[in-house]
Amino acid sequence: MVINTNIQAQKAADTLATTQVSLNKSLSRLSSGAKIVESADDAGGLAVSSRMDSQINRLDAAKGNVVNAISFLQAQDGNLMRIGKALDRMSELSVLSLDVTKSDSDRALYMAEFSQLQSHLVNAAQKDFNGVSLFCAMTVGVIIDAEGTVFPMTGIDIGATVATSAYFNVFTTGVSISTTTSAISALSFVKLAISQLSSDRALVGARQTRLNYTVEELQVTKENLITANSNIKDVDVATESTEFARSNILLQAGTAMLAQANNIPQQALKLLQ
């Protein structure tokens, strides 16, 4: 029996310190809700989780880009629909001007409305969406994922000034329905523009469908990443609560045993009495 060296007390103190560290770790995890409170808890898991967090943020940004692109396409389609109504009326006026019972003065009245509709078309071709032209030859690139993949949307140039454009004669030249001869030409030009407009609206609709599916894909990808990331960094409260209760009991038991171990050298005093 010795006094200066108490091996039992030292072992009890070491065990108590280990239990205290475990208890503190459980307290930190339960209070923060995170399995990885500091990098030493799981260095590899922290690296993976950090990359996932960054990817999730990029997916949110990409989804915002795609949603804005869908709004752009909806604005395009809405304007194209109204342009289509104007072209339909222009084709109707062209046919009315071909009526042999109409006089040139009657055709002049039709032409007045026809000219106003032309002005409306020219104005509609200059519309923009948040400063971006709705109808020009410029290709708009939409970022559709977290890796920066670009979905190109070629421009729909309603106000095209090239002679090969289906819209050229209707928008930018002096098309007239003042005579039967000019009305025949005007009808031909308007029908060509209507045909092109139908194709353009179909293209806009196809792009909307594609981007709607892209939004759904981004959402599913984000949900899967969040689930995987949660498995890495979020604490399992049930398991950690059990560990906390275990460490708490061991801490109390260890404290009691350390007190007992510290009393052992006192027994040596009885030998001196």
pLDDT digits (tens, 9 = 90+) for 163-202: 567 888 887 667 888 888 989 999 999 999 999 999 999 9
Is the pLDDT assigned to residue 206 strictly greater than 70? yes
Nearest to 146 by CA among 212, 45, 51: 51
> What does the domain layout of the chain look like in residue ranges?
44-233
Helix and strand element counts for the chain (H, E)? 6, 4
If residue 11 lies in a helix (H) or strand (E), which one and from where to where? helix 7-32
pLDDT exceeding 70 applies to what percent of the chain? 93
Residue 96: burial class (beta carbons within 10 Å; 0-12, 13-18, 19+)? middle
Higher model confidence: residue 118 or residue 250?
A: 118
Higher pLDDT, 12 or 62: 62
Q: What's the CATH code, domain 44-233?
A: 1.20.1330.10
- pTM: predicted TM-score of the whole model, two decimal places: 0.77
Q: What is the per-residue pLDDT for 138?
A: 85
| Predicted local confidence at residue 3, as pLDDT | 66
- pLDDT score at 191: 92
Confidence at 81, pLDDT banded by 50, 70, 90: very high
